């Protein structure tokens, strides 16, 4: 049995919870408090929180081992501790308890283009970024041409990167990272950038890195990518290891637990704009029985419920004439599609102050992955009444019914469509035939 290249023992990390400041009873108390505040804050300067403060464990008692050459996936929901674990492994932050032994040099990739400066040229940024990732100058010199080749930006190498298109920027950034040669590589979701083509290239590169016997720890939401790259995975849940083992089993467990936990998507209004005389007060993704849910299989209809009402003080004003638009955006930020309540056959607002709209998008819907919903309430081109980006985030799960013998992978696009196929056994092979097939799509 070879020595594990990474061994973690009882690893824990505690964070302080920023409590809301207490309200003051009167002016005197407030003033008093103002004078004492610096002292109190100074006392809180102690780096380790004292016991009376509210704390939480981002990761707790993690014991695991990773063998050399292994590609390990770490999965779990947001806040499960994946990123914290990665930050401890990459020495960005210190653990509160426990210990990790590493038997190799580590490089971590928590984002692409760390340290990129918009005013610097592509060339300067390659060196800056490379050295940030722990490369030496001569190492970058040696690989410079390879990096350029991979990024496909030769012509612009002496142009400041702020003039780059976002695609070029990301390609350059990933190219540097892809040429790291540490013994242990820690990767966080960086693959969720660039177009599908480039993502495939990145995944391929990660696969290559793995083939050379390097150890890779890969943290991702993208279950498909994890399944493709890794043979073993760890499932984190609330800071603890909930499961570990062969990747297929762990992913299955994750899906089972996620479904059980009824991860209801929360309606969020932190990015809200508009005059606000009418408001979207709630938006839910619901199942067939009307229960709020957070995920839906791609071969099931998407049901959404949106509650809208006029704000008080605008008593005479009704909702009539307003337009509600639902915009679906992929996790990478690409618009997928939009529906409006004034589309043909939809339901317009009646002359009331309060209204519930039910929207049903028949199956199949989108390719498995995370999506966000943006809402627009107003009159297009004239008035933003209530405009909410990221009102809801939800997951489209793989199909429940048999669909395709292969995986429905995000690299195949964002929209699921079911095509009707026909096959003529003995077609007359003429030009006309091509037209027929083209016309039937």
Partner 1 sequence: MPIANGDDAVTSETSLRAPERGTTKIHLVIEPGSRAIREELGDLLHYRDLLYFLVRREITVRYKQTLLGAAWAVLQPFMTMVVFSVFLGRLAGLPSDNIPYPVFAYLGLLPWTYFSGSVSRASASLVGNASLLGKVYFPRVLIPLSSTLAALVDFCIAATVLVGLMLWYGLWPSASALFYIPLTALTAVLALGVGMWLASINVQFRDVQQATPFLLQIWMFATPIVYPGSLVPERYRFIYDLNPMSGIITAYRAAALGEPIHWQSVGIAALVALAFLLTGWWQFRRMDRHFADIV
- Of 256, 254, 255, 200, the closest CA to residue 228 belongs to 200
Tokens of 225: 């990518």
User: Quick one: which of 61, 65, 115, 238 contacts partner 1 (CB under 8 A)?
Assistant: 115
C-alpha to C-alpha distance for 276 and 340, rounded to whole angstroms? 19
User: Quick one: which of 108, 295, 303, 330 contacts partner 1 (CB under 8 A)?
Assistant: 108
Q: Minimum Å distance from CB 116 to partner 1?
A: 10
For the chain, the straight-line distance linking the first and the last C-alpha, in angstroms and rounded, comes to 56
C-alpha to C-alpha distance for 26 and 202, rounded to whole angstroms? 60
Instruction: Using the minimum distance from each CB to partner 1, give the nearer residue, 133 or 226.
Output: 133
Q: Minimum Å distance from CB 121 to partner 1?
A: 9
Whose tokens are 């990123």? That residue is 83
Handedness of CA 381, 384, 386, 389 (dihedral sign): positive
Instruction: Using the minimum distance from each CB to partner 1, give the nearer residue, 11 or 280.
Output: 11
Q: Minimum Å distance from CB 102 to partner 1?
A: 4
The site string for partner 1 over 30-69 (x = CB under 8 A, - otherwise) reads -----------x---x-x--------------------xx
C-alpha to C-alpha distance for 26 and 24, rounded to whole angstroms? 6
C-alpha to C-alpha distance for 313 and 310, rounded to whole angstroms? 9
| Dihedrals phi, psi of 143, to nearest 5 degrees | -100, 5
Q: Minimum Å distance from CB 19 to partner 1?
A: 15
Binding to partner 1 (CB under 8 A) within 117-136 occurs at 117, 119-120, 124, 127-128, 131-136
Q: Minimum Å distance from CB 115 to partner 1?
A: 6
Binding to partner 1 (CB under 8 A) within 273-312 occurs at none
**Candidates 73-81, 115-123, 298-306, 374-382; binding stretch for partner 1 (CB under 8 A):** 115-123
C-alpha to C-alpha distance for 198 and 225, rounded to whole angstroms? 14
Beta strands in 96-239 (DSSP E): 97-102, 106-109, 184-188, 215-219, 232-237
- Of 155, 200, 212, 142, the closest CA to residue 174 belongs to 200
Instruction: Using the minimum distance from each CB to partner 1, give the nearer residue, 78 or 351.
Output: 78
Confirm if 199 and 369 have CB atoms less than 8 A apart. Answer: no
User: Quick one: which of 105, 163, 334, 433 contacts partner 1 (CB under 8 A)?
Assistant: 105
Instruction: Using the minimum distance from each CB to partner 1, give the nearer residue, 89 or 367.
Output: 89
| Dihedrals phi, psi of 233, to nearest 5 degrees | -145, 160
Confirm if 72 and 218 have CB atoms less than 8 A apart. Answer: yes
Q: Minimum Å distance from CB 91 to partner 1?
A: 4
C-alpha to C-alpha distance for 436 and 378, rounded to whole angstroms? 44
**Candidates 20-28, 99-107, 279-287, 346-354; binding stretch for partner 1 (CB under 8 A):** 99-107
Instruction: Using the minimum distance from each CB to partner 1, give the nearer residue, 26 or 119.
Output: 119
Instruction: Using the minimum distance from each CB to partner 1, give the nearer residue, 91 or 404.
Output: 91
User: Quick one: which of 137, 252, 356, 440 contacts partner 1 (CB under 8 A)?
Assistant: 137
Binding to partner 1 (CB under 8 A) within 354-413 occurs at none
C-alpha to C-alpha distance for 191 and 202, rounded to whole angstroms? 7
| Dihedrals phi, psi of 207, to nearest 5 degrees | -60, -45
How many residues bind partner 1 (CB under 8 A)? The answer is 55
Instruction: Using the minimum distance from each CB to partner 1, give the nearer residue, 99 or 354.
Output: 99
Confirm if 320 and 308 have CB atoms less than 8 A apart. Answer: no
Binding to partner 1 (CB under 8 A) within 181-210 occurs at 181-183
Tokens of 433: 């035939």
At 373, which helix (H) or strand (E)?
strand 369-379
Binding to partner 1 (CB under 8 A) within 76-95 occurs at 87-95
**Candidates 21-29, 112-120, 346-354, 360-368; binding stretch for partner 1 (CB under 8 A):** 112-120
Q: Minimum Å distance from CB 184 to partner 1?
A: 9
User: Quick one: which of 138, 418, 431, 432 contacts partner 1 (CB under 8 A)?
Assistant: 138
C-alpha to C-alpha distance for 371 and 395, rounded to whole angstroms? 6
Instruction: Using the minimum distance from each CB to partner 1, give the nearer residue, 57 or 403.
Output: 57
Instruction: Using the minimum distance from each CB to partner 1, give the nearer residue, 139 or 282.
Output: 139
C-alpha to C-alpha distance for 391 and 265, rounded to whole angstroms? 9
> Contact positions toward partner 1, by CB under 8 A?
2-3, 5, 15, 41, 45, 47, 68-69, 87-106, 108, 110-111, 114-115, 117, 119-120, 124, 127-128, 131-139, 181-183, 212-214
């Amino acid at each position: 049995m070879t020595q594990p290249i990474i061994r973690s023992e009882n690893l824990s990390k505690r964070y302080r919870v920023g409590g809301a400041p207490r309200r003051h009873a009167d002016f005197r108390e407030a003033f008093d408090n103002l004078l004492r505040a610096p002292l109190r804050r100074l006392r809180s300067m102690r780096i380790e929180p004292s016991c009376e403060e509210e704390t939480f464990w981002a990761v707790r008692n993690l014991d695991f081992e990773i063998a050399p050459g292994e590609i390990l996936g770490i999965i779990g929901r947001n806040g499960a501790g994946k990123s914290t674990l990665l930050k401890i492994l990459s020495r960005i932050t210190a653990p509160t308890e426990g210990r990790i032994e590493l038997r190799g040099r580590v490089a971590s990739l928590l984002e692409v283009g760390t340290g990129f400066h918009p005013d610097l040229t592509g060339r300067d940024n390659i060196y800056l970024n490379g050295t940030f990732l722990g490369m030496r100058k001569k190492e970058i010199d040696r690989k410079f041409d390879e990096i350029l080749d991979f990024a496909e930006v030769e012509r612009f190498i002496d142009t400041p990167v702020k003039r780059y298109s976002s695609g070029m920027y990301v390609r350059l950034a990933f190219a540097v990272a892809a040429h790291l040669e540490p013994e242990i590589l820690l990767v966080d979701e960086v693959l969720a950038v660039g177009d599908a083509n480039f993502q495939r290239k990145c995944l391929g590169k990660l696969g290559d890195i793995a083939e050379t016997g390097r150890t890779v720890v890969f943290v991702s939401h993208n279950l498909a990518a994890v399944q493709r790259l890794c043979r073993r995975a760890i499932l984190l849940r609330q800071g603890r290891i909930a499961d570990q083992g062969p990747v297929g089993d762990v992913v299955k467990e994750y899906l089972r637990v996620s479904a059980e936990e009824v991860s209801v998507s929360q309606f969020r209004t932190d990015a809200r704009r508009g005059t606000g005389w009418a408001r979207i007060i709630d938006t839910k993704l619901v199942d067939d029985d009307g229960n709020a849910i957070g995920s839906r299989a791609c071969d099931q209809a998407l049901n959404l419920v949106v509650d809208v009402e006029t704000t008080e003080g605008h008593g005479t004003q009704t909702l009539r004439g307003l337009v509600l638009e639902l915009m679906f955006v992929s996790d990478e930020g690409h618009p997928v599609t939009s529906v409006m309540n004034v589309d043909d056959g939809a339901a317009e607002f009646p002359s009331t102050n309060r209204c519930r709209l039910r929207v049903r998008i028949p199956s199949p819907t989108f390719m498995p992955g995370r999506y966000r919903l943006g809402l627009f309430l107003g009159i297009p081109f004239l008035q933003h009444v209530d405009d909410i980006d990221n009102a809801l985030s939800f997951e489209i799960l793989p199909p429940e019914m048999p669909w395709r013998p292969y995986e429905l992978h995000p690299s195949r696009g964002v929209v699921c469509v079911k095509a009707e196929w026909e096959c003529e056994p003995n077609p007359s092979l003429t030009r006309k035939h091509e037209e027929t097939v083209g016309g039937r799509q």
